Amino acid sequence: MDLLKTLVDKGLRRELPTREEALAVLSTSDDDLLDVVAAAGKVRRKWFGRRVKLNYLVNLKSGLCPEDCSYCSQRLGSKADILKYTWLKPEQAAAAAGAGVAGGAKRVCLVASGRGPTDRDVDRVSQTISAIKEQHADVEVCACLGLLSDGQAARLRDAGADAYNHNLNTSEATYGDICTTHEYADRVSTVQQAQAAGLSACSGLIAGMGESDEDLVDVVFALRALDPDSVPVNFLIPFEGTPLAAEWNLTPQGALRILAMVRFVCPDVEVRLAGGREVQLRSMQPLALHLANSIFLGDYLTSEGQAGQADLDMIADAGFEVEGAGETTLPTHRADVASAGCGGGGCGPCGDGGDGGDKMAAAGDEGGSVEARDVEAEEGASGTPRQRSELVTVRRRGPGTEVPPNA
């Protein structure tokens, strides 16, 4: 297929595809799916080999968020039966992080629900970062605390944070349809503040909220322009008790096409297979490793993922290997730029302006989960999405409980 040859050639040169080419990837047929995965896999292997980076989430503060993001179980007015608790103490968070590090995680992501941190909250998180680094000096720490105010990114960097996550989630044109309490521009500004402070930027999207293919291409091109070092690709988990509870729009094949499109647009970026993979990709998760070079280990913020050991087995069985603590995730040209103090390495040369979580999608950013529903929709024709609510389970272990975490 000429399209795929063109996209591979561009990906190997770090050249931006056209919008038409990106849209064409999303409209390929299921018969061509393996060809699409194989083509994007060549680009993935060029820049990341067969390594898979493991990340681990710690939900520092769960629920009761004043924002109204439609996809989020922690949103204002949510009826989802999730865990709700205030800030974990630094030693509690460090213990949870330690479980992820023991499971092989190179990065710990510290997430807290809310519009954005107060200065006192930044102090709390700074203490938590110190507690984690005291026990695990080499682990990367990414903070995800919502919208940042002036000076907060620099304070987090000085406290030892390596990265900051804030997802764009969807296109600018449709952002008002999923959230009214803040704007798309607020999210862009927060990513830029993190970059300006010298933090590695992490920003991604949520697919499956009823958006069009054009919206998906818009947000991925916007991410390319923003130039984050990592792009989490989340798939909506429809929460009962939220406005998007009935939105089951994805098939495993469609989810793989989205991941392939992201890889072609951002060829040398850490593409992270994030929230919703178990629910939306199901048995096709291993194929996604040919597209993404990073995943979350174990559970999400408010929902349970597959067992941590199952993640490790999946990676090994698919012929990939866990990225070691001493290995550099990003390709040399990006890693060199990042170490020089630029806020992002770019999907191309730093500052080119070219058109560019977690298990994060809300809280500031998790696509979480709800209790399994009793009724499953009838399965439609081939390629038609169907509800698989039995795959969705509220997190009842790890932080906020007395039960050991899953890692």
Binding residues for [4Fe-4S] cluster: 65, 69, 72
Q: Given the residues 109, 144, 266, 347, select the one marked as catalytic.
A: 109
Is 342 catalytic? The answer is: no
**Residue 165: strand pairing partners:** 202
Q: In Å, how far are 48, 53, 258, 360, 364 from 320, measured between CA atoms? A: 11, 10, 21, 23, 31
Backbone angles phi, psi at 401, to 5 degrees: -135, 175
109 carries an active-site annotation: yes
Q: Which of 14, 44, 51, 72 is catalytic?
A: 72
Residue 347 appears among annotated catalytic residues: no
Q: Name the CA dihedral angle for 312, 331, 170, 222, rounded to a multiple of 10 degrees.
A: -170
- Plot region of 282 (φ>0 → left; ψ -120 to 50 → alpha; else → beta): left
Q: β-strands 51-61, 107-112: how paired?
A: parallel
Query: Which amino acid is located at 77 in the chain?
Result: G
Listed in order, strand segments (DSSP E) in 9-133 are: 51-61, 107-112
Q: 142, 144, 179, 347: which is the annotated catalytic residue?
A: 142
Active-site annotation holds for 179: no
Going from the C-alpha of 59 to that of each of 65, 83, 159, 359, the distances in angstroms are 13, 10, 19, 11
- The catalytic residue among 144, 179, 202, 347 is 202
- Of the listed 65, 144, 266, 347, which one is catalytic? 65
Nearest to 130 by CA among 98, 163, 85, 91: 91
Annotated binding site: 65, 69, 72, 109, 142, 202, 272
Catalytic residue chosen out of the listed positions 69, 144, 266, 347: 69
Compute the distance between CA of residue 116 and CA of residue 119 in angstroms, rounded to an integer. Answer: 10
Contacts of 180 (CB under 8 A, 6+ apart): 68
Torsion sign (Cα): 91, 92, 93, 97: positive
238: exposed, middle or buried (C-beta count within 10 Å: 0-12, 13-18, 19+)? Answer: buried
Is 72 one of the catalytic residues?
yes
- Read off the tokens for 34: 């393996």
The span from the CA of 97 to the CA of 135, in Å, is 10
Q: What is the DSSP string of 249-263?
A: ---HHHHHHHHHHHH
Residue of 224, 272, 334, 395 with catalytic role: 272
Structure tokens at 188: 């862009």
- In whole angstroms, what is the distance from residue 5 CA to residue 1 CA? 7
Query: Which positions are catalytic?
Result: 65, 69, 72, 109, 142, 202, 272
